[in-house]
Each structure stands twice: as C-alpha cells, then as structure tokens.
Amino acid sequence: MQITGKTLWITGASSGIGRAVAIELSLKRCHLILSSRKKEDLEKVAIICENNGSTTSVIPFDLGNALSIEKAANRVLENETNIDGLYHFGGISQRSYVSDTAISVDRKIFEVNFFGTIELTKRVLPVMISNGGGQIGVTSSIVGKFGFPYRSSYAASKHALHGFFESLRAENVSNSVLVSMIIPGRIKTNISVNALDKDGNAHNKMDAGQDKGMSAEKAAGIIVKRLEKEKKEILVGGSELIMVHIRRFFPRLYYYLSTKVEPL
C-alpha cells in the first residue's frame, strides 16, 4: 500500500491511537480526513498534520448516531472523488460484570463499535470499488480474539468486527480492497478512563496495566509500517499479546488464567 499522496479517512482521530496514527500518516504527505465527535480537538490535530506537510479536512460526527454518519459520509463523498484508505479507530470500551450491566449499555457499545463502523464502511466501499480498490484498517483488540472479564460486550463487538471484515475481505479480493485488522494490547490511552460502567457512565479510572502500556506514538509507528506492508492482522503491544497465542495453542491454560483476573 503506497500511502504518500493518498486520501485517507481516519475515525477516532482526536485522541489515543487514532490521533497518533493520523500524525504518523501526515509525515507521508497525504490528504487526511479527520473524524471524531470532538471538533476542537480534531482541529488541533489538523494543525500538527498540516505542519508535517499533509492537507486535512475536519469532519466531526458521532459513530453512535446513524444520521450523523450519513451526513458526514455525504459531505465527504461530495468533495472527494476517491477514498484510498479508511482507518477505523473510533470506539468505546467497558468495565462491568455481565450480571450488572444494563442491556442499554450493551446496545450502545455495539452501536458505536460495530454498527457505526460497518455503516461508514458500507458508504465508502462502493466508491473504493469503483475507483479500483483501497485499504480498510479496523481497530479490534486482543479481546477480539478471546473473551475477558468485565469486557463482555466490548469483546463481543470486536469479535463481530473480525467476522464482518474477514467476510468483506473474502468478497472483495477481485476488487483490490485490502483489509487489515489492527489488534492492540495495552496501549497507554484514555480508553479505560472513558469506558462505560454498568450504568453507561464513564469508568473514570486508568487501568494499572494500561498505564504502563506502550505509548500511542510507538504503536502508531508500528501500525503504519504494517499497513504499508498490507498485513492482514496487526498485533501491537507488549507481553500481554502472549494471551492471543495461549488462547490459540493452550486453551486450557487460557481458561484458567481468565478466571484469575482481579475484580474491578
């Protein structure tokens, strides 16, 4: 995937990994469409990206609102003849027990992480296909590979993304649409702080393990290099990534370890 000079749309670009990836991509001198709910934060990211030699468009919208997605997509596609890359970093996590969590919270997590992500993809995909292909990057999580305590709907929404986008990839090989599943472990962002509790309120706590995780900037460097290499799965993080391999090759050990996670 040649990134230089391409038009790339990044969601979740106002903070965390999405922000760091946008800035990393801006060094490639491309045109970046920056999206999240937070217009002022996006504008600050846009200034950094433009100072790095890229052009930008700021398109705020809410992944949890279908009308907001539709308006943003229409606005972008009215002005852009092609989207060469669509990189999904927007999302929300969870910190609550299954037995305590209101079903409205489960639905909200899926609305943002799954339905919002695939709706935007469905609006951009026909344009990609008509222009000869492109690349879609989708942020999952290591818990998109296995279940994990206090992350039930978050993990489920990430599992769903794997199933959807692996199907999309298989259907569109002849259309030259590339799909990379981005699978972070512990990256030091505010994802745990902003995670939803059982009532749908912000968790407002930084996970101890996450606080010691890889920086978003280092993760972004790895992600961009592997997007350029068209990797189908991009694992990024520290020693916690071993759990992916334990789950695959030593399931009995995984089942034991998953019960030893400390309570909230």
Q: 232, 239, 248: which is closest to 166 by C-alpha?
A: 232
Active-site pick, 150, 154, 255, 256? 154
In whole angstroms, what separates CA 32 from the centre of its chain? 16
Please give the Cα distance from 221 to 232 (Å, whole number): 17
Please give the Cα distance from 39 to 37 (Å, whole number): 6
Helices 117-130 and 152-171: angle between axes, nearest 10 degrees: 10
In whole angstroms, what separates CA 21 from the centre of its chain? 11
**C-beta neighbour count of 2 within 10 angstroms:** 9
87 catalytically annotated: no
SS3 132: coil
Catalytic residues: 154
